[in-house]
């Protein structure tokens, strides 16, 4: 007979949330202040990100970096972001995992008046 897990020491909520969002199939999600939210930008939002990407793409290439919207972990918080644009060294972008803030050169998050 298998015994039940021992949760007497508690569950690390940050770790559990971040583990869960990495395993959601289909839609991309992020965690903002402990709430799981789908990442579903509007076309206006995508257009704004495209305009920024066009402005920085030559410099990003010169630096040997890539720009994209991969996962960004913020250790010590319940946040797991999918920024609109992140600029990271090309070698770090190959692993497929989440990056940490100190591994990025630039983070862009578009917002709206609402």
Find which of 3-12, 25-34, 105-114 is predicted with most confidence, using mean pLDDT.
105-114
Structural domain count, the chain: 1
**Residue where the block lists tokens 């918080």:** 77
Q: How confident is the prediction for the chain on average, in pLDDT?
A: 82
Three-state SS for 34?
coil
Q: Is 75 part of a structural domain of the chain?
A: yes
Q: What is the pLDDT averaged over residues 95-110?
A: 87
Q: What is the pLDDT averaged over residues 20-46?
A: 77
Full domain range(s) for residue 46: 13-108
Of residues 113 and 88, more confidently modeled: 88
Q: What is the CATH number of the domain that holds 93?
A: 3.90.1570.10
Pair of tokens at residue 93: 């972008």
**pLDDT digits 0-9 by tens, 7-30:** 556 777 777 777 777 777 766 777
Q: Is 2 part of a structural domain of the chain?
A: no
pLDDT at 36: 80
Pairing of strands 85-89, 35-38: unpaired
Q: Is 49 part of a structural domain of the chain?
A: yes
Q: Is 49 left (phi over 0), alpha (psi -120 to 50) or beta?
A: alpha
């Amino acid at each position: 007979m298998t015994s039940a897990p021992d949760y007497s020491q508690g569950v690390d909520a940050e770790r559990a949330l971040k583990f869960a969002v990495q395993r959601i199939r289909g839609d991309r999600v992020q965690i903002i202040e402990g709430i799981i939210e789908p990442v579903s930008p509007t076309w206006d939002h995508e257009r704004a990100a495209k305009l920024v990407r066009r402005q920085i793409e030559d410099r990003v290439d010169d630096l040997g970096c890539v720009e994209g919207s991969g996962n960004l972990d913020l250790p010590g918080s319940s946040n797991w972001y999918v920024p609109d644009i992140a600029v990271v060294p090309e070698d770090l972008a190959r692993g497929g995992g989440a990056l940490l803030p100190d591994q990025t050169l630039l983070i862009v998050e578009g917002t709206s008046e609402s």
